[in-house]
Amino acid sequence: MQDFIVQTLETERLILRPLQSSDAPCIYKHFANDAKVTQHLTWQPHANVQETQQTIQKWIDNQTNTFAIELKSTHEVIGTINTAHLDERTKSCEIGYVIGRQYWNQGYMTEAFSRLLDYLFDEVGLNRVRADCDARNKASSAVMKKCGLRLEACKRQDVWTNAGIGDREIYAILKMDRHPHHFYS
């Protein structure tokens, strides 16, 4: 397994690149201040762009492997996608993501998630990727399903989000599920 490095990845409509502190105004504008976007997340909407700036700086300082999701057409950051809990023994990690409300239901997050999966399996050498969501967040579970993840568990009353205590759905995909025509050792 090669070292994980947040690098620039591209899709037809998006650029996934390392998050920068200069992204704070776009992130605040598009989703960090939006109670509807953060409804199923564990953090409160940001009160101002300075709070967003501080959060981004923490992510950068803690090397959270966060990508900015940038529209190629406008170069605006419309969301973020990150990896966490990288385990070299099991060659696995977890993915988390958020995208601005005006970009929902347009396939952007599915496109970003799918590209990140390709990178993690084909270039980093991971074998398993998981993601979870509040079971009430049907749009998030739809993204995971479209990317080939399978529901592995539903942990009852296991997550607190801004919507309150709820069930946590856990999804995962193996490298062989993503590329079933290949044999992987």
Q: What is the distance between the terminal CA atoms of the chain, rounded to a whole angstrom?
A: 12
pLDDT in tens, 115-170: 999 999 999 999 999 999 999 999 999 999 999 999 999 999 999 999 999 999 99
29 pLDDT band, cuts 50/70/90, is very high
Q: Where are the domains of the chain?
A: 9-178
Distance CA 69, CA 113 (A): 10
Question: What pTM did the predictor assign?
Answer: 0.92
What average pLDDT does the structure give for the chain? Answer: 93
User: CA-to-CA distance for 89 and 106, rounded, in angstroms?
Assistant: 36
Question: Can you identify the CATH homologous superfamily of domain 9-178?
Answer: Gcn5-related N-acetyltransferase (GNAT) (3.40.630.30)
Cα distance between residue 166 and residue 13, in whole Å:
34
The 10s digit of each residue's pLDDT in 80-122 is: 999 999 999 999 999 999 999 999 999 999 999 999 999 999 9
Alpha helix (H) ranges present in 62-163? 108-118, 138-146
C-beta separation of 96 from 130 below 8 A: no
